[in-house]
Amino acid sequence: MPVSKFDVEDPFQYLTSLNSYHESEAVPGTLPQSHSLPQRHDHGLYPERISGTAFTAKRAVNKQTFLYRILPSTAQSPWTQVDSHPLNCDFRTDLQFLPDQFVWPPLKVDRSRTFVDGMVLIGGAGDPTVKNGVAYYNYSCGVDMGKDKAFYDADGDLLIVPQLGVLEVQTEMGMICVRMGEICVIPRGIRFRVSLPSGLSRGHVIEAFSGHFDVPELGAIGTLGLANVRDFEIPKASYYDTEETTEVMSKFGGKIHTAKMKGSAFNAVSWHGTYYPFKYDLGKFMPIGSTLYDHQDPSVFTVLTCPSDKPDCPAVDFLLLGPRWLVMENTFQLPYFHRNTMSEFSSVLSGGFDLATVPKQMYGMSALHNNLSPHGLEAHEVDEAMSKKLKPERVPDDTKAFLVESCYPIGITDWAAKNAIPSNGGENFGNFKRHFPSKI
């Protein structure tokens, strides 16, 4: 069965199918039937709506959800800006734009940090105040966010990719368990907290300021292939009832703000709508590939895409380079040299990139190949690829690497500049030999 093998069982149940209209109730009878706004809710709940698109957005992309809460989200104090928070960033002034190739080793896991406090900004582009751009983070954490904490990102959707450990994500719509090999999307504005049932965790977070993550159109592929919508899992309603105070952290306009709220942020007893978080097991991805010669474009590995404000220029294409057969004949099977107009941010979660294995100590690394900067294999790898006897080869099952293609040139933070390993060709220009004119 094409699923990932997990060490930890998922304790939660889910609704399935991305983009469907879903409804769920933790207490039977708490979801009003037919209408959404009863004058007085039978169970004493407050209806509240969160929208992810304009009211007038086309039906196919319209995202709105009604939540039925014990107390409304307005039961809160004024916001206070946290001036010194490490996630604060002014994207217009705080990033360096460099054409170099960069590699970052995996983060050392910080046992003292929560998921949100353990996020480190590597870089990005654009401006969250105009809903345009992207940001890349690594995270490492070893402490649960308490039941009295909640976080939401008003600036963008968060795509969370754990490389180590397990995340138990409590959201307003219910609980999600995300293990290495799975990804999770928390759309902008939805409140969540993360606990760590197996201790330490590490991974990556991709934040998209524009639009929402969705499966790509399939074009000539047809109706089946890549990430199939039925394999996406959506939480079922569950709630936490308390009269204690909760601290809500908001990322808004690139700055962290906090407020106190009465009761829990996770007090929705039922909900219905189209705006919700979801998870996906990358082991269920159905790859498409060349079956005779040459490479197809890597866009066929797209799991999720998020549009920018420019037509046909995704802010994020999240690609999985996973297990599959390589069967092309008389073809340079490995990645060929290229300079792409899309920037590329990548990581190996396990295994390697296709047939090229990566040492275990580098699992969780990050790499950046910026817009139109040349990159490809090293000279000795090219020589081996050109001389090897070709036969069908299987990219192993433990191979999980991802690639984020973005239309934006990516600027990096001071932290990223200090901690990077530059990986250009070096002073010998990569040691490439001339073969032209050929003696053959």
Q: How many Å apart are CA 99 and CA 106, to the nearest integer? A: 22
Stretch that binds Fe ion, among 56-64, 215-223, 226-234, 338-346 (CB under 5 A): 338-346
Q: 375 a known binding residue?
A: yes
Q: Which is nearer to Fe ion, 238 or 423 (CB)?
A: 423
Are the CB atoms for 425 and 381 separated by under 8 Å?
no
Asked whether position 344 contacts Fe ion by CB under 5 A, the answer is yes
The first and second tokens of residue 67, run together, are 């939540």
DSSP one-letter code for 100: S
Residue 435 marked in a binding site: no
Judged by CB, which is closer to Fe ion: 304, or 321? 321
Tell me the two tokens of residue 12: 């939660």
Q: Which stretch binds Fe ion (CB under 5 A): 63-71, 143-151, 301-309, 341-349?
A: 341-349
Q: Which helix (H) or strand (E) holds 379?
A: helix 379-387
CA distances from 434 to 89, 316, 333, 431, 439 (A): 46, 37, 21, 10, 12
Are 253 and 129 in contact, with CB atoms under 8 Å apart? yes
Can residue 405 be called a binding residue for Fe ion (CB under 5 A)? Answer: no
**Which of 50/334 has CB closer to Fe ion?**
334
Nearest-approach distance from CB 69 to Fe ion, in angstroms: 46
Q: Amino acid letter at 180?
A: M
The minimum distance between CB 313 and Fe ion, in angstroms, equals 17
Cβ contact 185:178 at 8 Å: no
Number of residues that bind Fe ion (CB under 5 A): 1
With contacts defined by CB under 5 A, name the span among 1-9, 17-25, 40-48, 340-348 that binds Fe ion: 340-348
Task: Give residue number: closest CB to Fe ion.
Answer: 344
Site string for Fe ion, 348-387 (x = CB under 5 A): ----------------------------------------
Nearer to Fe ion, 199 or 374 (CB): 374
Of 283, 264, 107, residue with least CA distance to 170: 264
Nearer to Fe ion, 21 or 337 (CB): 337
Choose, from 85, 212, 295, 435, the residue flagged as catalytic. 295
Report the nearest approach of Fe ion to the CB of residue 403 (Å).
7
Query: DSSP string of 275-336?
Result: ---EEEEGGG-B----SSSSPPPGGGGEEEEEE-SSTT-EEEEEEEE-SEEE--SSS--SPP
What is the closest distance, in whole angstroms, from the C-beta atom of residue 347 to Fe ion in the complex?
A: 13
The answer to whether residue 295 is catalytic is: yes
228, two tokens: 């199939």
Binding piece for Fe ion, criterion CB under 5 A, among 48-56, 257-265, 339-347, 412-420: 339-347
Cα–Cα distance list, 167 to 20, 234, 277 (Å) = 25, 15, 14
Distance in Å, CB of 375 to Fe ion, minimum? 5
Q: Which is nearer to Fe ion, 210 or 343 (CB)?
A: 343
Name the minimum Å distance from CB 346 to Fe ion: 8
**Taking contact as CB under 5 A, which single stretch among the options 219-227, 242-250, 336-344, 423-431 is the one that binds Fe ion?**
336-344
Residue closer to Fe ion by CB (options 155, 344) is: 344
CB 262 within 8 A of CB 311: no
CB burial class (10 A; 0-12, 13-18, 19+) of residue 361?
exposed
Q: In angstroms, what CA-CA distances link 219 with 300, 305, 317?
A: 11, 14, 16
User: What's the DSSP call for residue 123?
Assistant: E
Residue 281 is a binding residue for Fe ion (CB under 5 A): no
Q: Considering the complex, state which of residue 101 and residue 267 has its C-beta at the smaller distance from Fe ion.
A: 101
Task: Please name which of 9, 357, 345, 348 lies closest in space to residue 198, comparing C-alpha atoms.
Answer: 9
Supply φ then ψ for residue 289, to 5 degrees.
-155, 170
Site string for Fe ion, 117-156 (x = CB under 5 A): ----------------------------------------
Cβ distance 406 to 371 under 8 Å?
Answer: no
Q: Is 338 annotated as a binding residue?
A: yes
CA distance linking residue 197 with residue 141, whole number of Å: 12
> Nearest distance from residue 419's CB to Fe ion, in Å?
22
| Least CB distance to Fe ion at residue 321 (A) | 11
The residue ranges that bind Fe ion (CB under 5 A) are 344
**Binding site residue list for homogentisate:** 353, 375
**Binding site residue list for Fe cation:** 338, 344, 375
Q: Which residues are catalytic?
A: 295
